[in-house]
A and B are shown apart, each in its own frame.
Chain A
Amino acid sequence: MPPKPQNLKNPIIWFFASLIVLWAAPLFLPTFYVYLITEILIVSLFAVSTNVLLGFTGLLSFGQVAFFGSSAYAVSLLIKGTSLPFAASFFISVGMSALAALIIGLFCMRLRGFYFAILTLAFSQIFFVVVYKWTSLTGGDDGIVGIPKKPFLFFNINGPDAYYHFVLLVVMVSLALLYLIIRSPLGEVLQAIRDNSERTEFLGLQVRNYRLASFVIAGTFGGVAGALFAPFQGIVTPELLHWSHSAEPLMISLLGGMYFFFGPIAGAVIFVFIKEWITGFTEYWMFWYGLLLMLLIMYLPGGIMGFVSEHLKRGKDDSR
């Protein structure tokens, strides 16, 4: 049985405190780490959005890259191909992801369990094939290279620190929105569906519509992550839409603790650092990485947050 979510005592204070600390981070960190944290922020948002489905609605989607990737491609094409301001390109791309999630979601909602997972995978692979084959528009497997960081509204976001601050703001606002959604009545219903969809149906709630809402929310914020990612990398390639890329946010959510809102964030931090570290020191990084994953799952099946909260609880119980 999934643990009850624990609310932050003072979410507003937490929000501003972490924003201030992270905002100041580039003052102390070498540029490489600024890039790395930018990436962790984007990956975190993608993972948290995926976890709205996985951890809070109980839906295993293998197709979230469809929304991340299509938004990344849309924003790149709009930036390079039109004179639209970046903010407009950004919101159009996110809107397209939301629309794509709505359409695909309508098809997928009838399915359960692993059938749902494979159907979402099949849809996302269709996106992959289209991008891979439509060479005249997308550059095929060579991708779209040289995506500039145009100003967002009146803000110059060119340069590693400036873009980091931009990503930080967007990700923090997105995470706050997602947090509010999960804590809202809608979020409560989603978790009830996750725990027992039949009972929720008996209560007269349209499970299908709630699931669809969850799917669209996840797709939209996956799209935000994608639209941030494209200018950050300066390039988009079909790899972003490949199914294997869908596994990443799932893995991060599981490692971090999928029943916790902040689980995927903890997962993303650890995942990116561990991978960076292991791949740096051995050619056989896959072996060690796989072994680590296996042991983590065997001994920390609730993820890092699950482990931490268990111990905190135990500590409280002991002190009582």
Chain B
Amino acid sequence: MEFSYFIYQLIIGLSYSMLLFLIASGLTIIFGLLNIPNFAHGALYMLGAYFTYFFLHSLPGVSFGIALVLAVVSVGLIGAFLEYVPLRKIYERSHALQLLMTFSFILILDDATKYFAGTDFLSIAIPKLMDGSITLPGDREMPVYSIFIIACGLVVAYLLWLGLYKTRLGKLVQAGTANKEMLSALGINVPRLFTLVFILGSVLAGLGGGLAGPLKAVSVGMGETVIITIFAIVIVGGVGSLKGAFIASILVGELNTFGVVFFPSFAMAFTYILVIVVLLTKPEGLFRTK
């Protein structure tokens, strides 16, 4: 492979990685602090795409950016409800039961979406500003929107890093991820913190969905197609580790990209092979937090 093609594929892979990171970051933060494996994270991602479509097409003169913000807020509200009403009842229960609960959310959210939006595929156009591509050396095209996704991923990663390491709230989240008893000992309103973090995670899932919208067929069930990959990323990176999710997203994204180039017939298995290799060498993920 010539070097320029290698670099080209690297960037292509990075745009997929960053999309995965946007979704996985929310899941790992929730899983880390609340200790809930939220299987419905993919459904929230789907809702992000649907809400973006809905706001873009039902409100006159709304741009993609505004629709995205409205969508993210809506998904955050739904997340707040899910945390506040059903999830709160089962914090002390087993992971298995929590998984089943969040699985029931998928069934409900999927069918509710089908009821309101119908079963036809919906399509969100790439915003005019970011349509098209720039030509790289070797007459290769790089879509502007993919570059935008990379930028979004990096900005969100930076903001989350700032939020987690530089603010009081972030430090509480970190402390709570490492040791839950400490929070109550500090006299923190733990339930409120949990709600806030669940909203943050939902917002990130919704953002991922809204940004993925222009690259995907918006459809019921689109959450289930990503959720296992997202869980794999969270586990490979280490539950609760933002850095881990970032690195693991890049690993999964690049592995899928280069895997397709070199070993196309194993494409279905890449993510699982990565999970097996990483977990057999590092049983608690790349960056364990507790």
Asked if chains A and B are in direct contact (CB within 8 A), the reply is: yes
- Which size bracket describes the interface of B in this complex? 35 or more
Bound-state CA distance A303–B3 (Å) is 59
Contact B265 A133 (CB under 8 A): yes
A119-B99 Cα distance, complex, nearest whole Å? 16
User: Is there a chain B Cβ closer than 8 Å to A284's Cβ?
Assistant: yes
- A residues 280-298 near B (Cβ < 8 Å) are 284-287, 289-291, 293-294, 297-298
Interface residues of A in 7-22 (CB under 8 A from B): none
- Which of B178-186, B203-211, B274-282 is the contact stretch? B274-282
- Interface residues as binary, A251-293 with B (CB distance below 8 Å gives 1, 0 otherwise): 1001000100000000000000000000000001111011101
Chain A facing B: main interface SS: helix
Contact pattern, A 194-222, Cβ under 8 Å of B = 1, otherwise 0 = 00000000000000000000000000000
Rounded to whole Å, the gap between the CB of B130 and the closest CB of chain A is: 35
Are B90 and A298 in contact, with the CB atoms below 8 A? yes
Structural contact, B105 and A284, CB atoms closer than 8 A: no
Interface string of B262-273 (1 = CB under 8 A from A): 000110110111
A250 to B94, CA, bound (A): 12
Given A132-B268, A251-B100, A298-B89; A119-B279 close (CB under 8 Å): yes
Q: How far is the CA of A125 from the CA of B272 in the complex (A)?
A: 7
> Chain A residues with Cβ under 8 A from B89's Cβ?
297-298, 301
Q: Which residues of A contact B268 (CB under 8 A)?
A: 129, 132-133
Given contacts A126-B276, A250-B96, contact A293 B107 (CB under 8 A): yes
Contact for A251 among B103, B111, B283, CB less than 8 A: B103
Chain A CB within 8 A of B45 CB: no
The verdict on B114 contacting chain A, using a C-beta distance below 8 Å, is yes
Q: Are A122 and B272 in contact (CB under 8 A)?
A: yes
Residue of A nearest to B277 (CB): A122
A223 to B231, CA, bound (A): 27
Contact A294 B108 (CB under 8 A): yes
- Which residues of B, 57-88, contact A by the 8 Å Cβ criterion? 86
Residues A250 and B100 in contact in the complex (CB < 8 Å), given A298-B89, A301-B93: yes
Establish whether residues A243 and B104, one from each chain, have CB atoms under 8 Å apart when the complex forms. Answer: no
How far, in Å, is B37 (CB) from chain A's closest CB?
6
Also in contact, A54 and B96, with CB within 8 A (given A115-B235, A115-B283, A129-B269): yes
Chain A nearest CB from B260 CB (Å) reads 15
Q: Considering the chains assembled together, what is the distance between the CA atoms of A293 and B109 in angstroms?
A: 13
Q: Say yes or no for B115: interface residue by CB 8 A criterion.
A: yes
Least CB distance, B174 to chain A, in whole angstroms: 20
Contact A114 B100 (CB under 8 A): no
Interface with B: A37-45, A70-78, A105-113, A157-165, which one? A105-113
Q: Contact: B86 with A298, CB < 8 Å?
A: yes
Does residue A34 face the partner (Cβ distance < 8 Å to B)? Answer: no
29 A-B residue pairs with Cβ-Cβ distance under 8 Å, sorted by A, are A54-B96, A111-B283, A112-B284, A115-B285, A118-B231, A118-B235, A118-B275, A119-B275, A119-B279, A121-B272, A122-B272, A123-B272, A126-B272, A126-B276, A129-B272, A250-B96, A250-B100, A251-B103, A254-B100, A287-B111, A287-B112, A290-B104, A290-B111, A297-B86, A297-B90, A297-B104, A298-B86, A298-B89, A298-B101
With A60-B95, A111-B279, A301-B93 known, 17 other A-B pairs at CB within 8 A are A107-B280, A113-B95, A114-B37, A114-B95, A115-B235, A115-B284, A115-B285, A122-B273, A125-B269, A133-B268, A284-B115, A287-B115, A290-B104, A290-B106, A290-B107, A294-B86, A301-B89
User: Which residues of chain B have a CB within 8 Å of any CB of chain A?
Assistant: 37, 86, 89-90, 93-97, 99-101, 103-108, 110-112, 114-115, 228, 231-232, 235, 239, 265-266, 268-269, 271-273, 275-276, 279-280, 283-285
Considering the complex of A and B, which 10 residue pairs feature the smallest CB-CB distances, nearest first? A290-B107, A287-B111, A293-B104, A290-B108, A122-B275, A122-B272, A286-B111, A294-B104, A286-B107, A290-B104
